[in-house]
């Protein structure tokens, strides 16, 4: 038999119980807390909020590269989309000891001041136009055995090639405003995994104070298929001197394919300078006594 209690609950307890029963799961709401403004969250409409794309390089530039116009500008010695690859400089004299060059272009020699030979005779191409007599103006080059006085004493008139051979020719370029290729050549029968050096002797043909713009050359090594960049390095400014002064520039790279494309590209504007001479373009293996020659079926 059920007996009803005559006990009466306090009013405040009845009110609390009524509130607890009236709340549903969807109505539960927490007051202001860390990360909560105190307002009910909006109902999810299913639409994603717009993404705020901040200006800059994504991924970020590495190795102290600078983001300029959403593109990484790499410091000397680094290359790649985000400056992730490091280029090697020239090999040491010890590494090059007892190694014969796989490629060597000296441009020959002759008694005439201007050579009649063309880049195709030396198995390379250039974007500059060849001249066979004075003047070697902007955008042109000549194969010459002594520098002609084309611009009223601004150049080292009478200076000769790097080796000093009598009648030895050099590649003289008067670079124009648009950056062009000084040299593009393909080499085959490399040994995959072997370290090589691509080099040239450069000289600023301007006398001190006569030209505003100093030559600067970008060295690149690319694959013959797909044109993928394997290595890149800038020469930096080629300085003028009181006499024509030759200096060796270039880079080292590890062959990832049996054949590669070697390039030298102008890395400075033309006009009022950027006048230079090139000589003794070479490719050597970095490894004393090694041949670096691996014949293939290609």
Listing DSSP states for 210-269 in one string gives T-SBPPEEEEEEEESSS--EEEEEEEEE----SS---EEEEEEEE-SSS-EEEEEEE-S-
d(CA 225, CA 228): 8
- For residue range 121-165, what is the model confidence (pLDDT) as tens digits? 999 999 999 999 999 999 999 999 999 999 999 999 999 999 988
pLDDT for res 50: 39
DSSP 8-state assignment for residue 281: E
Residue scoring higher pLDDT (13 or 238):
238
| CATH code of domain 55-86 | 2.10.25
Give the H or E element holding residue 175.
Answer: none
Q: Closest Cα to residue 147, out of 83, 210, 67?
A: 210
Q: Out of 3.90.226.10, 3.40.50.920, 2.60.120.200, 2.60.40.1220, which CATH number does the structure's domain 87-285 have?
A: 2.60.120.200
Q: How far, CA to CA in Å, does 33 sit from each of 23, 40, 169, 233?
A: 21, 12, 82, 56
pLDDT for res 5: 40
218: left (phi over 0), alpha (psi -120 to 50) or beta: beta
- For residue range 102-120, what is the model confidence (pLDDT) as tens digits? 999 999 999 999 999 999 9
The whole-model pTM stands at: 0.74
Helix (H, G, I), strand (E, B) or coil at 183: strand
pLDDT class of 4 with cuts at 50, 70, 90: very low
What are the domain boundaries of the chain? 55-86, 87-285
Residue 277: is its pLDDT beyond 70? yes
Helix (H, G, I), strand (E, B) or coil at 18: helix
């Amino acid at each position: 038999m059920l007996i009803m209690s005559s006990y009466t609950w306090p009013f405040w307890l009845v009110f609390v119980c009524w509130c607890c029963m009236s709340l549903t799961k969807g109505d539960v709401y927490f007051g202001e807390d860390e990360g909560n403004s105190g307002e009910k969250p909006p109902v999810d409409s299913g639409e994603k909020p717009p993404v705020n794309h901040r200006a800059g390089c994504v991924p970020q530039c590495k190795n102290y590269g600078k983001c300029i116009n959403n593109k990484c500008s790499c410091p000397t010695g680094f290359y790649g989309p985000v400056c992730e690859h490091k280029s090697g400089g020239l090999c040491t004299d010890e590494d090059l000891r007892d190694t014969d060059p796989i490629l060597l272009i000296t441009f020959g020699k002759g008694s005439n001041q201007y050579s009649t030979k063309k880049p195709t005779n030396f198995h390379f191409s250039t974007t500059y136009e060849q001249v066979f007599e004075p003047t070697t103006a902007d955008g042109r080059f000549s194969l010459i055995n002594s520098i002609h006085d084309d611009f009223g004493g601004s150049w080292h008139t009478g200076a000769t090639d790097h080796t000093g051979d009598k009648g030895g020719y050099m590649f003289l370029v008067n670079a124009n405003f648009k950056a062009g290729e000084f040299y593009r050549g393909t080499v085959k029968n490399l040994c995959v995994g072997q370290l090589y050096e691509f080099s040239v002797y450069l000289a600023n043909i301007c006398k001190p104070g006569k030209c505003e713009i100093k030559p600067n050359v970008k060295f690149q090594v690319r694959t013959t298929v797909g044109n993928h960049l394997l290595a890149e390095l800038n020469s930096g400014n080629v300085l003028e001197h009181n006499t024509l002064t030759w200096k060796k520039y270039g880079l080292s790279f590890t062959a990832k394919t049996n054949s590669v494309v070697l390039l030298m590209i102008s890395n400075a504007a033309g006009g009022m300078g950027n006048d230079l001479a090139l000589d003794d373009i070479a490719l050597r293996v970095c490894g004393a006594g090694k041949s670096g020659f691996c014949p293939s079926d290609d």
